[in-house]
Amino acid sequence: MSTKVLVLGSNFGGLTAALALKDELGPDVDVTVVSPSDRFVFTPSLIWVPFGKRTFEDISFRVDRTLDAHGVHFVHEAATHIDPTAQTVVTESGASHDYDYLVLATGFRNDLDTVPGIGLGGHASTITTVPDAFAAARDWTRFLEDPGDVVIGATQGAGCFGAAYEFLFNTAYRLKRAGLDKKVKLTYVTAEPFLGHFGIGGLPHGEQLLGMFTRMNGIETITNAAMESVDERSLRLSDGRTLDFAWAMVVPAFRGQDVVSAVDGLTDDRGFVAVHDTYQSLKYPHVYAVGVAAAVDVPWTTAVPVGVPKTGFPTEQQAHAAARNIAAQVRGEEPVVHKAFGDIPALCVMDAGNNGVIILADKMMPPRKHGVLIPGPQAHAFKLAFEKYFLWKSKHGYVGLP
Ligand SMILES: Cc1cc2nc3c(=O)[nH]c(=O)nc-3n(C[C@H](O)[C@H](O)[C@H](O)COP(=O)(O)OP(=O)(O)OC[C@H]3O[C@@H](n4cnc5c(N)ncnc54)[C@H](O)[C@@H]3O)c2cc1C
């Protein structure tokens, strides 16, 4: 009888883990992906959605078809209950699925409690999920009809600073193109202790470079900021300052999915799965977690808490590591791949509308030997090309490609 692996989540981590498992074990493994989304979404392009630069079709594809073509079953339902002792997962319809190994690639949900007033139904847009990004597109259109000051920010505990910067510079670019740059005050408010910290402790010359980018675009910046709430047309900071705006976009902190955090002893207090460097759960050796769902320790203390950016490249690396380690366990061996999150190379592009910065470092977390930021229009061109390449690669299931 073949080994049964259930993978929860069908995006970066889930798709890669499922296909890598098939590559490792072929017919000896029966892989099923469970997900409420039957489309793979290239999240890095959500920053362009509010400006009408991308439709949902542009940045997504039918993941169930890709999985089917590679012999992976797909259950188009959210998981609602995980029992790691009985080794079963219940889905929305009430169906129960048993497993020998479970891979959690369930990503995040927005933490909308820490700073009330962000996201759908709130007063500040966000762009971190598909519905939020399309709601932000409506808000941007309304803003253009009646423009005023703009605030872009990232709350305490946020980790996705790259997206906040990308959105900031894309907004500056769009304001310029709309002839509004001289009329609109644009402010960036961040929990980071200094510009260019990015939640990874900064990189050489990063603070100067981000300082130059913000000055060039006439952007006011407030670092070390904790937010209190977003009210109608104003952002209240914990130190009592208030920033008025006609439109705001704020990146919140993330939490793990409730179905994962409900499992006894599985997660940290933010709902992320505590893992070894094999990506096995500390408590349940047959449960793995990859990507945003896996917990990462923040290796420093800052005046205002900042999270760690769990980006696409480490997610893929973790998914490959989990697949190889499950294959080893199936063969009766010890898990073979030990790869701490902090030791995975950093490879990212910060888009700035018609410009940008390529970010390269030998490790996600310091101490590092090498780290470099390469600014210039080639970064924008690289991000455009990378989007097309990544969607092509993922749609065809070529997860072995870089
Ligand atoms: C706005 C934005 C911009 C970004 N830009 C970049 C960038 O430029 N470069 C970069 O490297 N990274 C970027 N990232 C980070 C990147 O998107 C993540 O690293 C990546 O999405 C992590 O993949 P994941 O599979 O862990 O989680 P996700 O992509 O969040 O996928 C989670 C999956 O879990 C599924 N799921 C949710 N709940 C359940 C449930 N109950 N049961 C089963 N399945 C469930 C979802 O449907 C989804 O398929 C960005 C992120 C955001 C939000």
**Considering Cα of 134, then 139, then 144, then 149, what sign does the dihedral take?**
negative
Strand 3-8 with 29-34, pairing: parallel
Q: Is 185 part of the annotated catalytic residue set?
A: no
Mean pLDDT score of the chain: 97
173 and 304 share one domain: no
* pLDDT of 284: 97
Indicate whether 366 belongs to any domain. no
Which ligand 1 atom lies nearest to the CA of residue 79? 42
Q: Which domain holds residue 205?
A: 112-253
The b/e string for 301-318 (b: 16+ C-beta within 10 A; e otherwise) is ebebebbbbbbbebbbbb
Give, for 40, the enclosing helix (H) or strand (E). strand 39-41
Query: Considering only CA atoms, which of 146, 149, 233 is closest in space to residue 185?
Result: 149
244 and 304 share one domain: no
218 and 275 share one domain: no
The Cα 165–Cα 214 span in angstroms is 10
Total residue count of the chain as it appears in this document:
402
User: How big is the chain by its Cα radius of gyration, in Å?
Assistant: 21
Which residue out of 106, 132, 255 has the highest number of ligand 1 atoms within 8 Å of its CB and is therefore the one to mutate? 106
* pLDDT of 300: 87
Identify any residues that bridge with 188 across adjacent strands, giving them in sequence order: 152, 221
Q: Which of 253, 270, 298 is the last residue of a domain?
A: 253
Q: How many domains does one find in the chain?
A: 2
* pLDDT of 297: 87
The b/e string for 207-245 (b: 16+ C-beta within 10 A; e otherwise) is bebbeebbeebebebebbbbbbbbeebbbbbeeeeebeb
126 and 248 share one domain: yes
Q: Which position among 7, 18, 102, 348 bears the catalytic label?
A: 348
Q: Which of 230, 253, 276 is the last residue of a domain?
A: 253
* pLDDT of 298: 86
The Cα 316–Cα 335 span in angstroms is 18
Indicate whether 369 belongs to any domain. no
Residues of the chain with pLDDT under 70: none
Which residue out of 311, 348, 358, 364 has the highest number of ligand 1 atoms within 8 Å of its CB and is therefore the one to mutate? 311
Say if residue 333 is exposed, middle or buried (CB neighbours under 10 Å; 0-12, 13-18, 19+): exposed
What CATH number is given to the structural domain containing 53?
A: 3.50.50.100
Give the phi and the psi of residue 271 in degrees, each rounded to 5: 85, 15
- With H, G, I as helix, E, B as strand and everything else as coil, classify residue 80: strand
* pLDDT of 21: 98
Distances (CA, A) of 58 to 190, 198, 311, 382: 30, 27, 21, 17
* pLDDT of 6: 98
71 and 57 share one domain: yes
